[in-house]
């Protein structure tokens, strides 16, 4: 086979892969939009949509109906609500938060899940390196605005060892399953400790931890990019709060 024919074959394959990704994103967008429009969705959640961009983020990740999703650091459940309604009755969501974060959420988590209103959601209160899911059982793990917490110790309590947390993500994912990581960028070269001060993490550190656990980079997005963010201020600083430069990464387990 000549060099030209090899190149032509490569171009064709890449074109087909791109077309497949576009088709999947369009399909994902439809079911996410339906979840966003659900009449039972709390109105206060909707106020955050323009900033959080859940439609674009989850379409990028390729979410599908019927998936089993482990949502790491679900917080009070903004994304839990959307994930639950997107995967539908044939899917399920594990809503994970570390016990050390309980005091930050008050009664919000209980209210979100009250009266079994999200019947396909299971609450899991464990650290990030103790995920409550069987080996090879999860289609997608999401960690949105959370990996930096591996450098945060509320009240002096560790919420998980960084390497073991990423190894656990790889453990629970099915072969072919994906891991979506979104977080506030820290300056390159920053160590994990900056997560406890600025509440940021460097993109390369997340990539290194994921690769070290055997996860391969699938694609990245600049959906939440902001070149005006100096990366030097804490994420709650009024000068940058809600507008931080964030990476959006998708990894796959082979």
One digit per residue, the tens of pLDDT, for the chain of length 254 reads 565 555 556 444 444 334 444 445 558 899 999 999 999 999 999 999 999 999 999 999 999 999 999 999 999 999 999 999 999 999 999 999 999 999 999 999 999 999 999 999 999 999 999 999 999 999 999 999 999 999 999 989 999 999 999 999 999 999 999 999 999 999 999 999 999 999 999 999 999 999 999 999 999 999 999 999 999 999 999 999 999 999 999 999 99
Q: Can you tell me whether residue 8 is helix, strand or coil?
A: helix
Of 94, 73, 98, residue with least CA distance to 84: 94
Say what the pLDDT of residue 22 is.
46
Predicted model pTM: 0.89
Structure tokens at 128: 């990030």
The CATH number of residue 231's host domain is 3.40.50.150
Say what the pLDDT of residue 6 is.
54
User: Residue 228: which domain range?
Assistant: 3-253
Q: Can you tell me whether residue 186 is helix, strand or coil?
A: coil
Per the CB < 8 A criterion, the answer to whether 199 and 231 are in contact is no
Report how many domains make up the chain: 1
């Amino acid at each position: 086979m000549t060099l030209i024919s090899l190149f032509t074959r490569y171009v064709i394959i890449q074109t087909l892969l791109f077309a497949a990704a576009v088709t999947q994103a369009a399909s994902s967008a439809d079911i996410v939009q339906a979840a966003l429009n659900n009449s039972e969705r709390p109105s206060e959640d909707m106020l955050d949509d323009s900033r959080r961009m859940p439609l674009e983020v989850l379409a990028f990740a390729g979410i599908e109906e019927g998936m089993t999703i482990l949502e790491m650091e679900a917080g009070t459940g903004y994304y839990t609500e959307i994930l639950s309604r997107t995967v539908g009755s044939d899917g399920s969501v594990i809503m994970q938060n570390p016990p050390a974060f309980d005091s930050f959420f008050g009664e919000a988590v209980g209210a979100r899940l009250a009266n079994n209103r999200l019947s396909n959601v299971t609450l899991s209160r464990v650290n990030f390196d103790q995920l409550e899911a069987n080996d090879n059982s999860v289609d997608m793990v999401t960690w949105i605005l959370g990996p930096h917490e591996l450098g945060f110790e509320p009240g002096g309590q560790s919420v998980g060892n960084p390497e073991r947390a990423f190894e656990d993500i790889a453990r629970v994912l099915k072969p072919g399953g994906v891991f979506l990581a979104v977080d506030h960028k820290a300056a390159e070269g920053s160590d994990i400790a900056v997560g406890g001060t600025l509440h940021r993490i460097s993109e390369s550190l997340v990539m290194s931890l994921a690769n070290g656990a055997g996860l391969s980079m699938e694609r990245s997005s600049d959906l939440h990019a902001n070149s005006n963010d100096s990366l030097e201020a804490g994420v709650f600083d009024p000068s940058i709060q809600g507008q931080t430069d964030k990476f959006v990464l998708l990894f796959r387990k082979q």
